[in-house]
Structure 1
Amino acid sequence: TSIPTINDEYYKQIFVLTQERLQVLLDNFKNKIDIVVIDEAQSISDEIRGMILQDCLDKISIQNPDAKYVFLAPGAEGFNDLADIIGIDTIHVEKTNLSPVVQNKIIIKVDPAKENNLQLSLLDNSNILSIGELTSTRGFANENTRLAAVALELGKDEGSLVYGTGAANAEDVAKQIASGLPLLENDSDLKELSKFIKKHVHKDYSLANLVLRGVGYHYGKMPSLLRETLEKNFTNNKLKFLVCTTTLFQGVNLPAKNVFIDTPTRGNRGEALDPASLWNFAGRAGRLGYAFSGNVYLIDYDDWETKPLDSKIDFKITSSFKKVINEDFDTVISRLDKNNHLGVSQYSNVDAAAGLLISRAAKGDLHNFLERSFRTIPDKSKLEIIEDATYSSLESLNIPHNILTLNWTVDPFGQERLYNRFIQKIKDGKIDELIPRHPSGNVYTNYVGVFSRINKYILNHNTSKFSNYLTAMALNWMRGKSLPEIISLSIAKKKEKNSTRPVNVDRAVREVFDFVEDNLRFKYVQLGKAYIDLLRQALIVNNQAEKAEEIYDFPLSLELGVSSIAGQVFIELGLSRISASYLENIIPNSNPTISTAKEWLRNNDYDSLNLPLTIYSELEDKGLL
Structure 2
Amino acid sequence: MSTYDVAANSEFLNQTLDELTEEVFRKDIGEQYTAPLSEQDRQRAAWMGSILANSSNDDHRKRALATAVLLYTTCDKDSKRIYQQYLYTILSRLGSLPSAHALNDSTAELVESISDPSQSLLAAELDAIEEYHRLDSETVLTRFQQRVWDHLDEKYVVFSGPTSSGKSFLMQQYIRHSIASSEEYQAVYLVPSRALISEVASEFRTELGELIDIRTSAHLDEVEDSFLLVITPERCLQLFDYEEEENIDLDLVFLDELQQLEDGGRGPLFENVLENLESVWPNTQIIAAGPYIDNPADALEGVVHGEADDIKTVFNPVFQLEARFTFRKRSDTIDVELKSPSGNTLELDLNRPTGLSYSTLNNKKQTVRRFVEEFGMGDQSLAYGKTRRATENMALGVAASRSQTEPPETEGLIEYLERTVHEDYALIEAIQSGVAFHHGSVPQVARDEIETLYRDEKLDLIACTSTLLQGVNLPAQRMYLVDPGKGREKTLSDFEMQNLIGRVGRVGNQLYGTIYYIDRENDEWADQRLNTSVNKEVTAATTNTIENRTDDLLELVATGDTNEITDDGLRYTIVLLRNRYLKQPESIKEYLTGKGLAESKAAAVLEELESNLPEIRIPVEILRKNPTVDPVLQNRLYENVNSAVEPWEVVTTDLKQSFFSVTQHLNTIFHFVADPEYGIEPARSESMYSHNLNHLKYTAYHWLNGRSYNELIDLRQDALGNQNIDSVIKELMRIINDDVRYMLVKYYQILCDIFDGIEDYDNQFMLNFDKRLERGSYESERLQLMDMGIDRSIALDLETPNVDNDEEYKTKLAAQVNSLSPIYRRHLIRNGVLDTE
Q: TM-score, normalising length from structure 1?
A: 0.88
CA contact (8 A) 2:326 2:520 kept: yes
Q: Which residue of structure 1 aligns with residue 503 of structure 2?
A: 284
Residue 407 of structure 1 is aligned with which of 626, 635, 638?
A: 626
Tell me what 1:252 maps to.
Answer: 472
Map of 1:22 onto structure 2: 236
Specify which of 289, 314, 318 is matched with residue 72 of structure 1: 289
| SS at structure 2 position matched to 1:37 | strand
**Residue number in structure 2 paired with 1:436:** 650
How far 1:549 sits from its partner (Å)?
Answer: 5.4
- Equivalent-residue separation in structure 1 for 2:563 and 2:285 (angstroms): 44
Assess, with a 3 A threshold, how the Cα gap between structure 1 residues 463 and 25 changes in structure 2: closer, same or farther: farther
Residues 1:100 and 1:243: Cα distance change in structure 2 (over 3 Å): same
Q: Does 1:237 align with 2:457?
A: yes
1:618 and 2:827 matched: yes
CA distance in 2, matches of 1:9, 1:423: 33
**How far is the alpha carbon of 1:63 from its aligned partner?**
3.0
Shift of 1:344: 6.2
Query: Residues 594 and 380 (structure 1 numbering): CA distance in 2 closer, same or farther, change over 3 Å?
Result: farther
| Structure 1 residue 326, shift from structure 2 partner | 2.1
- Aligned residue for 1:316? 537
Q: Among 759, 769, 774, which residue is 1:559 paired with?
A: 774
CA contact (8 A) 2:588 2:606 kept: no
Change (3 A) 1:329 1:345: closer
SS, match of residue 254 in structure 2 = strand
Amino acid of the residue matched to residue 812 of structure 2? W
Q: CA deviation at 1:345?
A: 8.0
Using the alignment, how far apart are the partners of 1:218 and 1:130 within structure 2?
34
Correspondence list, 1:92-491, <5 A: 92-114=309-331, 117-124=333-340, 127-141=344-358, 142-143=360-361, 144=363, 145-185=366-406, 187-269=407-489, 271-300=490-519, 303-304=524-525, 307-338=528-559, 340-341=560-561, 348-364=568-584, 366-368=585-587, 371-372=590-591, 374-375=593-594, 377=596, 379-397=598-616, 399-424=618-643, 426=644, 431-438=645-652, 442-459=654-671, 462-464=675-677, 466-491=692-717
Displacement of 1:385 after TM fit? 2.0
1:83 matched to 2:301? yes
Instruction: Say if 1:262 and 1:301, in contact at 8 Å, map to a contact too.
Output: no
SS in 2 for 1:296: strand
> Are the equivalent residues in 2 in contact too, given 1:345–1:411 (CA < 8 A)?
no
Q: Is 2:788 the partner of 1:573? A: yes
Question: 2: CA distance between counterparts of 1:342 and 1:69?
Answer: 32
The alignment's C-alpha RMSD in Å is: 2.7
Distance 1:568 1:284 in 2: 35
The answer to whether the 8 A contact 1:566-1:592 is kept is: no
- Residue 300 of structure 1 aligns to a residue whose secondary structure is strand
2-structure distance, mates of 1:581, 1:44: 36
Partner of 1:499: none
Q: Return the alpha-carbon distance in structure 2 between the equivalents of residues 98 and 558 of structure 1.
A: 45
Residue deviations 1:541-570 (CA, integer Å, cap 9, x gap): xxxx34665624221122222333332233
After alignment, is 241-250 or 26-35 more displaced? 26-35
1:221–1:514 CA contact under 8 A, matched in 2: yes
Uncovered stretches (5+) of structure 2, i.e. residues with no partner: 1-214, 678-690
Q: Which runs of 5+ in 1 are unaligned?
A: 496-501
Contact 2:504-2:514 at 8 Å conserved across structures:
yes
Please say if residues 543 and 595 of structure 2, whose CA atoms lie closer than 8 Å, have aligned partners that are also in contact.
no
Cα offset for 1:401?
Answer: 4.6
Cα pair 2:477 2:504 within 8 Å, conserved: yes
* 1:215–1:239 Cα contact (<8 Å) kept: yes
Cα-to-partner distance string for 1:510-541 (whole Å, 9 max, x where unaligned):
1001101111111111111112333555x55x
Q: Distance in 2 between matches of 1:11 and 1:559?
A: 27
Q: Per the alignment, do residues 385 and 343 of structure 1 end up closer, same or farther by CA in structure 2, a change over 3 Å counting?
A: same
Judging changes above 3 Å, is the alpha-carbon distance between structure 1 residues 275 and 97 closer, same or farther for their aligned structure 2 residues?
A: same
Segment drifting more, 457-466 vs 197-206: 457-466
Matched with 1:498 is: none
- AA aligned to 1:283 is G
Structure 2 CA distance for aligned equivalents of residues 393 and 114 of structure 1: 68
In structure 1, C-alpha distance between the alignment counterparts of 2:414 and 2:373, rounded to whole Å: 22
Query: How many angstroms does 1:291 deviate by?
Result: 1.4
Give the Cα separation in 2 of the matches to 1:444 and 1:344.
31
Q: Secondary structure at the match of 1:175?
A: helix
The SS at the match of 2:811 is helix
Task: Determine the C-alpha separation between the residues in 1 that align with 2:711 and 2:595.
Answer: 55
* Cα distance per residue 1:405-444 (max 9 Å; x no partner): 33232233322333333344x2xxxx43321234xx6411
Larger radius of gyration: 2
Amino acid aligned to 2:712: I
Alpha-carbon shift at residue 166 of structure 1 (Å): 0.5
Q: Which moved more, 1:144-153 or 1:154-163?
A: 144-153
How many Å separate the matches in 2 of 1:606 and 1:305?
51
Alpha-carbon contact 2:324-2:530 (below 8 Å) kept: no
Question: CA deviation digits over 1:425-467, x for unaligned, max 9?
Answer: x2xxxx43321234xx641110111110111122285335933
- 2:772 aligns to what SS in structure 1? helix
**Aligned residues of 1:214 and 1:240 also touching (Cα < 8 A):** yes
Identity of aligned residues (%): 23
Deviations along 1:123-174, one digit per CA (max 9) or x if unpaired, are 2487420244144343233222324322332222111100101101111222
Residue 324 of structure 1 and its aligned partner are, at CA, apart by 2.3
Q: Is the 8 A contact 1:451 1:471 kept in 2?
A: yes
Q: Cα gap change, 1:342/1:34 in structure 2, threshold over 3 Å: closer, same or farther? A: closer
Residues 348 and 376 from structure 1, CA distance in 2 versus in 1: closer, same or farther, beyond 3 angstroms?
A: closer
Identify the residue that residue 201 of structure 2 maps to in structure 1.
Answer: none
Aligned to 2:394, what secondary structure does the other structure show?
helix
CA distance in 2, matches of 1:25, 1:255: 33
Query: Aligned residue for 2:92?
Result: none
| Structure 2 counterpart SS, 1:276 | helix
Tell me, in whole angstroms, the C-alpha distance in 1 between the residues paired with 2:518 and 2:562.
49
